[in-house]
Amino acid sequence: MSENIIIAGAGHAAGQVAVSLRQGNFDGRITIVGEEPYLPYQRPPLSKAFLAGDMELDRLLIRHERYYQEHDVDIRLGTRVESIDRPGRSVRLSSGDQLDYDRLVIATGSRPRRVEMPGVDLEGVHYLRTIEDVERMRPDFKAGNNLVIVGAGYIGLEVAAVAAKRGLKVTVVEMAERVMSRVVCPEVSQFFEKAHREAGVDIRCSRDPKSELLGKGHVDRLRGADGVEILADMVCIGVGILPNTEIAEAAGLDCQNGILVDEYCRTNDPHILAVGDCTNHPNSLLGRRLRLESVHNAQEQAKTAAATIIGELKPYAQIPWFWSDQYDLKLQIVGIGGTHDRVVLRGEPDERSFAAFYMEGNRLIAVDAINRPREFMLSKKLIAQGARFDPETLADTSIEFKSLADAALS
Ligand code: FAD
């Protein structure tokens, strides 16, 4: 098999596609084209250890340069794929080059959703997606400074945790009535709000979004719609992401909240696949389509796409999972809630170790585990197999979770 593969984008999924192709003994040409100046790297530490200064840039990389050299993977960094010529099976790059492909893998990821707020272009206002974004934040990210975070999603809260530990004075403003409202149940939101308040973070929910940022050249405060002002030496905005689908759309590929792919990561063009944050894919275990923003999805879709290219069709069907680190709290989420009719708590929020089980009737559909790795690990299988539980037994911590899981699976 000596096809010529181009990978558009050089992020987590792109790196994994190249690695999986070579692991699968693919001996064709592989070229990765990425607009950032870095080799494929993992983003989670950008709002955790890397932001805290506890991790070297080198350790973010999925593979070091030597790997790509030894495995004959050509990487063109600082270069955008500008357009796709589907009939001619080639891509045009920002360098002016044109590259032919037998198969193209689109791995363009996503970008932060921008807010329309007066003053958003002032210096000191940041979004967080790349290494360069973190480097830009560093000069103001110092003890004693006032940091305002717009958006209490997981990225905003992770930044809040790192900043509070560093000694910044942190205020989080959120439009919704509770933190992480898009991903966790009210009980878990309340728990994290309390943890942040105990760490000195000022959390302000239910805010009118019509705020403005003020300052002369550099931001110095946020003024809310109610006229209340919050001092800000820097502002970090984290209000969600948008999938990078533009080159796919311009090429006429089917897109709808992401590039539409099947369970083998194939688009509606037989010569083009897509993986990671930029896709919208079917999940047979959940019986619906999803667009996910997670490392697990980026890695697993990349493996699926590589298998498809090699000719070993393996459908991608897994229960999604995700994690977030805030202070000493590891939140691990497995499954997708939303259709649940009740939440059962197991363990003690006050002991900073508990799990919230999302039930649809007696069927387990999702779990938020806080410092509960066992519940998280076992729940992956339980959810995939549609395990059923008596809610009262599930809440009873005098019974080992492993025994409950074994009984449900037998
Ligand atoms: P990306 O990693 O975004 O890579 C896409 C790359 O393609 C980018 O470098 C982009 O510049 C490039 N690109 C785009 N368009 C073009 C083009 N036309 N030509 C060339 N290059 C292009 N997930 C978790 O599971 N757990 C976490 O704790 C977690 N924490 C996170 C913290 C932060 C701060 C961020 C930003 C993300 C976090 N995520 C986390 C999400 C996770 O990092 C993403 O889901 C993952 O990076 C998606 O990988 P990807 O390859 O699809 O996209």
Closest CA to ligand 1's atom 38: 44
* pLDDT of res. 230: 97
List residues near ligand 1 (CB under 6 A).
8-14, 33-36, 43-44, 46-47, 80-81, 107-110, 128-129, 155, 244, 247, 276-277, 293-296, 298, 322-324
Residue 208: pLDDT band with limits 50, 70, 90? confident
Query: Which own/partner pairs from 377-385 qualify as long-range (CB within 8 Å, at least 24 positions apart)?
Result: 378/402, 378/405, 379/334, 379/335, 379/355, 379/405, 380/319, 380/321, 380/334, 381/405, 381/409, 382/408, 382/409, 383/319, 383/334, 383/335, 384/285, 384/318, 384/319, 385/409
Residue percentage of the chain with pLDDT more than 70: 100
Residue 202 has pLDDT above 60, yes or no: yes
pLDDT digits 0-9 by tens, 19-74: 999 999 999 999 999 999 999 999 999 999 999 999 999 999 999 999 999 999 99
Task: Give the residue, by CA position, lying nearest to ligand 1 atom 53.
Answer: 109
Name every residue whose Cβ is closer than 8 Å to that of residue 82 and which is 6 or more positions away in sequence: 91, 92, 93, 94, 247
Ligand 1 atom with the smallest distance to the CA of 13 is: 51
Mutate to test the pocket of ligand 1, among 32, 35, 39, 43 (most ligand atoms within 8 A of CB): 43
Q: Give the number of the atom of ligand 1 that is nearest the alpha carbon of residue 292.
A: 45
Nearest atom within ligand 1 for CA of residue 279: 52
In ligand 1, the atom with minimum distance to the C-alpha of 295 is: 25
pLDDT bracket for residue 272 (50, 70, 90): very high
Average pLDDT over residues 157-164: 98
pTM: 0.97
Instruction: Answer whether 373's CB lies under 8 Å from 332's CB.
Output: yes
Query: Is the per-residue pLDDT at 1 higher than 70?
Result: no
Q: How large is the average pLDDT for residues 6-25? A: 98
Q: What is the pLDDT of residue 2?
A: 77
Atom 3, ligand 1: which residue's CA is nearest?
109
Report CA(11)–ligand 1 centroid distance (Å). 6
| pLDDT digit string, tens, across residues 334-388 | 999 888 999 999 999 999 999 999 999 999 999 999 999 999 999 999 999 999 9
* Percent share of the chain, pLDDT over 90: 96
Is the pLDDT at 396 greater than 60? The verdict is yes
The strand order across the sheet containing 329-335 reads: 321-326, 329-335, 363-370, 353-360, 342-348
Q: Give the mean pLDDT of 177-181.
A: 96
Q: How far is the CA of 238 from the centre of ligand 1 (A)?
A: 14
Q: Band of the pLDDT at 209, cuts 50, 70, 90?
A: confident
State residue 333's pLDDT score. Answer: 97
